[in-house]
Amino acid sequence: MYLSARPAAAGVALVLTALTATACAPSTSGGAAGGESRTGTLRVWLFREVGNAPKEKVVRQAVADFTAAHQGVKVTVDYIPVDTRAQRVEADRRRRGARRDGIRRRLQPPGRRLRQGQGRVRVVPLPGRKKGEIAPAFAGGNNIGVLRSTGHRTLAVDLTKRLAGKEAQRGLFDAMGFLPTFADVRAEAAKRRPYVKPFVHTLDAGAEFVPVTPGWATVDASLVLPTMYQQIVSGRKSVDAAAAEAARAMDGAFHK
């Protein structure tokens, strides 16, 4: 699982990046429990990102290492489109080269914002209720697993470990900005890119996972929480007013 820190309290919206999900399965499906075939073709499904090429490069390297260690085994990788509003807006911006409003600015990676700011941008953890306290964040992510029906269980587990391993996470952080789940790899990333430290500190302080409900996809795609943070930080609305509006939007999504 690759994590992103998503603050769950009022303040500045600190969102690092999108995440990946992995699943391995045989080239033909079936309802029976998996077996132990050591040859053949494994199929992998990953989420497609906006600007997917760097991610594909990292995945290709992991797959190449895997197939080199397992003669007679092939791997096919399919990328599943994730059709969210945020991705559609960003994809349109990149395709047209058009300027956007606040939505565009929220979608820009932190590194790009820092470079454009020429040192005038700072990243800090979202403050909690008490002095020196960090507010809880949503540690978003997706499950990485092997389908029960696979006929290549041992191979599938090995490939999954490689795709979720430290080397792959280092590569995905450098290529895509995906925040690693391993504490030591996160620490390495923070040393190389100091702007990551607040995100690491936020995760280390304790994080919650998003609600397990289909309605959360609507909340996430509608930018409910980032909008709330923008309203508060800009002073357009008070904390109570912005939070109440966000709560109504989330209740509407959860009860559809």
* Model pLDDT, residue 56: 96
Q: Which CATH architecture has domain 4-210?
A: 3-Layer(aba) Sandwich (3.40)
pLDDT at residue 31 tops 60: no
* pLDDT tens-digit map of 106-121: 344 555 555 665 667 7
pLDDT at residue 13 tops 50: no
Structure tokens at 134: 């960090």
* pLDDT tens-digit map of 66-103: 999 999 999 999 998 866 545 555 555 555 454 433 33
What's the rounded mean pLDDT across residues 162-184? 93
pLDDT at residue 52 tops 80: yes
- Closest residue by Cα to residue 2 from 171, 137, 142, 184: 142
Query: Where in the chain do CATH 3.40.190 domains reside?
Result: 4-210
pLDDT at residue 249 tops 50: yes
Q: How many CB atoms lie within 10 A of CB 107?
A: 17
* Model pLDDT, residue 49: 84
